[in-house]
Amino acid sequence: MAVAVRERGYQDSTVADVVRHARTSRRTFYEHFTSKQDCFITLLTERNKETIQQIEAAVDPHMPWRTQVRHAIEAWIRTAQDDPSITLSWIRVVPALGEDARHLQREVGETFIALIQKLTDTPEFAAAGLRPPSRQVATILFGGFRELIATTVEDGGDIGGMVEVAVETAIALIGPHP
């Protein structure tokens, strides 16, 4: 499915494209998935799990808190850079796919929000007088970064070029306030 989406986009991809790239049969495809959308949702579920694992693995909770923020953002952007067409499909296509996709979108959003709160609940953050952001602030971080990634890909820009603004924004939102 990933190859088909990269090649033609989700909307124009067919089950025939998926089975051709997977070198399998339609029968085998339908033994595992009920539809093209089901296969796509499965792909995105796995990709999001991998992204979250990579972000978590990139952050050392014993490093200075600003370094932790940078490492988390760099890991997130790196995963988006690894497969920008899948990333863009996740952000732009999923909202139009109906209830199953909407459920996945909400579930992943909640997981990212919880991850942001978890990553900011470390001794280094506490030593700086910081608490994990509220759900609302974590939602703004998540949603804002997703939109920045999407528009950067759509405009043909380099996702890696957004690291500094993403780090600055995250620090402004979760850092110390007078």
Report DSSP state, residue 146. Answer: H
CATH number at residue 91: 1.10.357.10
In a domain, 41, yes or no: yes
In a domain, 77, yes or no: yes
In a domain, 124, yes or no: yes
In a domain, 26, yes or no: no
pTM (predicted TM-score): 0.90
In a domain, 101, yes or no: yes
In a domain, 60, yes or no: yes
Which parts of the chain fold into alpha helices (H)?
2-8, 15-22, 26-32, 36-58, 65-82, 84-92, 99-119, 123-127, 135-154, 163-174
Encode the chain (178 residues) as per-residue pLDDT tens digits: 999 999 999 999 999 999 999 999 999 999 999 999 999 999 999 999 999 999 999 999 999 999 999 999 999 999 999 999 999 898 999 888 888 888 889 999 999 999 999 999 999 999 999 999 999 999 999 999 999 999 999 999 999 999 999 999 999 999 998 7
Domain that holds residue 82: 37-174
pLDDT at 154: 93
Structure tokens belonging to residue 86: 């899948």
Domain tally for the chain?
Answer: 1
Residues near 108 by Cβ (< 8 Å), separated by ≥ 6? Answer: 44, 45, 48
In a domain, 95, yes or no: yes
In a domain, 22, yes or no: no
